[in-house]
């Protein structure tokens, strides 16, 4: 199927209904049916269960429990770097923020203000900064970890549509990451200043969750929501889990100007693994 036809189908599909249905199926404890679904999924997408903390497929009570499975201890050692990759996945795009524009794919850009839900003051902190868009495919480990130490400052839920975020859709749907449902997490690093991690929703992504809040979007509404944590001491260390997707998606990270020099081996579409070298602070 051509990219153009795939994108057209994205516009025509009843994305909200499909996502609601998929969320119910994924959360159901269906016994043998759940086990068969997981077996089918692992075979179709080539999921490596040898890396899972619990490799026994029949022991998972629901598809969500399987999909958000933890890795076994020591599976992802952290690189000796200032910033480590926060997920298993593939690089969509990364690099410098052009004034306030982020590259989505060739011919498509969106603004930092659009990404964070219209907060111009927050977006202004990352003018001429750096960004990284990382795509999590169905076979990947779907927990999100910290690229560096950070203290949580704010979380913003931004409602939106639910296009797929696979590479074909990224190439064909303008403003994809700034129009999909998303959760914007704002951190303050003691060494590198503010940075943002955005969890992007997508078709059949049942929900997104963080370790401090739990599921952020149990009931989808058209209203944005915001939480502030300045009076709390929520500090997460480099490599610690910060959230997870219930079915797959993309994360977008924002860093201030002169904060990160990305790994020289990084390139669009290249696979990455949690804990690998993402970059270092410029000398």
88, 100, 130, 207: the active-site residue: 88
| Mean pLDDT along residues 249-270 | 96
Q: Determine the distance from the C-alpha atom of residue 209 to the mean position of all C-alpha atoms in its chain, rounded to a whole number.
A: 11
Percent of the chain with pLDDT over 70: 83
Q: How far apart are CA 105 and CA 170, in angstroms?
A: 6
| Mean pLDDT along residues 154-171 | 78
Q: Is 145 a catalytic residue?
A: yes
String of b and e for 261-270 (b: at least 16 CB within 10 Å)? ebbeebeeee
Identify the pLDDT of residue 245: 86
Identify the pLDDT of residue 202: 73
92, 164, 189, 249: the active-site residue: 249
Cβ proximity of 22 and 15 under 8 Å: no
Identify the pLDDT of residue 12: 58
pLDDT at 24 over 80: no
| Phi and psi angles of residue 223, each rounded to the nearest 5 degrees, phi first | -110, 135
pLDDT at 276 over 80: yes
| Mean pLDDT along residues 138-161 | 94
Q: How far apart are CA 280 and CA 283, in angstroms?
A: 8
Q: Is 249 a catalytic residue?
A: yes
Q: What is the pLDDT of residues 31-71, one digit of tens each?
A: 999 999 999 999 999 999 999 999 999 999 998 899 899 99
Q: Is 233 a catalytic residue?
A: no
- Identify the residue whose tokens are 């913003």: 156
100, 145, 164, 207: the active-site residue: 145
């Amino acid at each position: 199927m051509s990219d153009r036809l795939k994108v057209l189908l994205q516009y025509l599909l009843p994305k909200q209904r499909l996502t609601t249905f998929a969320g119910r199926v994924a959360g159901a404890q269906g016994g043998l049916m759940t086990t068969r679904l997981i077996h089918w999924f692992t075979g179709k997408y080539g999921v490596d269960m040898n890396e899972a903390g619990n490799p026994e497929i029949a022991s998972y009570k629901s598809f969500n429990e399987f999909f958000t499975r933890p890795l076994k201890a020591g599976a992802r050692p952290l690189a000796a770097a200032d910033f480590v990759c926060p997920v298993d996945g593939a690089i969509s795009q990364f690099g410098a923020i052009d004034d306030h524009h982020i590259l989505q794919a060739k011919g498509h850009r969106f603004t930092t203000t659009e990404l964070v839900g219209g907060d111009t003051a927050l977006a202004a902190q990352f003018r001429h900064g750096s960004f990284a868009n990382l795509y999590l495919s169905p076979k990947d480990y779907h927990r999100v970890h910290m690229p560096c130490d950070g203290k949580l400052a704010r979380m913003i839920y931004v409602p939106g549509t639910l296009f797929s975020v696979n590479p074909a859709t990224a190439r064909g749907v303008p403003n994809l990451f700034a129009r999909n449902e998303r959760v914007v997490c704002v951190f303050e690093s003691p060494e590198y200043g503010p940075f943002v991690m955005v969890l992007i929703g997508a078709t059949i992504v049942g929900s997104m969750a963080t370790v401090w809040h739990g599921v952020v979007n149990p009931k989808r509404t058209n209203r944005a929501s915001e939480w502030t944590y300045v009076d709390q001491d929520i500090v997460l260390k480099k490599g610690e889990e910060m959230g997870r997707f219930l079915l797959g998606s993309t994360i977008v990270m924002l860093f201030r100007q002169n904060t990160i020099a990305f790994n020289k081996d990084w390139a669009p579409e290249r696979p990455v693994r949690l804990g690998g070298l993402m970059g270092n602070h410029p000398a």
